[in-house]
Amino acid sequence: MLLQSPDSIQAPTPPRSALPSTLSTIVEDSLTVFWGEWLDLRVRVAQVMASGLVSPLIYIVAFGLGLGGSIRPGTAIGGEYNSYLEFILPGMVALSSMAICFVGTTFSICGDRLYSKTFEEMLLMPVHPLALHLGKAGAGIVRGLLTAFSVILVAVLFVVFDSGDITRAWSFLNPLFLTVLFLNCAVFASLGTIAGLTVKSIESVGLLNNFAIVPMSFLGATFFDPATLPATLKVVVYSLPLTYTSIGLRAAAYKPLADFPWLVLPVLFVSAAVLAGIGAYQFAHQQD
């Protein structure tokens, strides 16, 4: 029997962490699910962008150009805005992206579950539940961004028409503005994914829209400055994620970087992350 010297004995190789491999798999699976959604969405890009313009245009004309003529900067709104129309335009971007992300994602999932009956096939795929959520929510984010960019184009035209300042109009496309917009889309696309997995009928989607999205559209600081509210109402308004989006978009568009409310970013990011966890849990336990 041959004895090995201590120098010839090799230490056992420590096991490699499975975390990078798991993350890589989740990313790849998410892109696969997203690509299937995109193949269906790409033929309706113009329709998605146009459908999200209807409500913002009505609000801009009715409130911004109509009612807004009686509201002067420095009274109900800050003095850094040239007009009430300019004040509500970032809120219209927030509102339109919220509505399309939520409704579009909800209808996409519940349509597969309740009508085409193809949702069961997706659940049988060897895909991580988080990847299923990220893929579906990713398609919702794209829907929201497409609509938001069409509203931004309209907003730029209105700002140029109202103030004649082209530089001020293009402030809607700075990186901070786009970051807040993306996080807002992530929050409501995730919320739409959860709703799509939960509802039992198309009528239930209408109820959720009427009792959650529509009230949030008006209470989410889109048409007013929440700082002017009584303390009791502030609790309600600041509990809505759309409020932080409206405040963040408005500050990113018009205020200097030093005055940006940085709390907006962690609030929206944490909200999106929590909703993603809930969505992944629902996918893992979904039984249709």
What is the reported pLDDT for 1? 44
Q: Is the pLDDT of residue 252 over 70?
A: yes
Sequence-distant (6+) residues with CB within 8 A of 194 are 275, 278, 279, 282
The one-letter code for the residue type at 112 is: D
DSSP 127-186: --HHHHHHHHHHHHHHHHHHHHHHHHHHHHHHHHHHH--HHHHGGGGSHHHHHHHHHHHH
Tens-digit pLDDT profile for residues 265-278: 999 999 999 999 99
Q: Is the pLDDT of residue 9 over 60?
A: no
Query: Does the predicted TM-score (pTM) go above 0.75?
Result: yes
The one-letter code for the residue type at 191 is: L
Average pLDDT, integer, range 195-214: 85
- Give the residue, 82 or 175, on which the prediction is more confident: 175
Give the N- to C-terminal CA distance of the chain in Å, as an integer.
Answer: 64
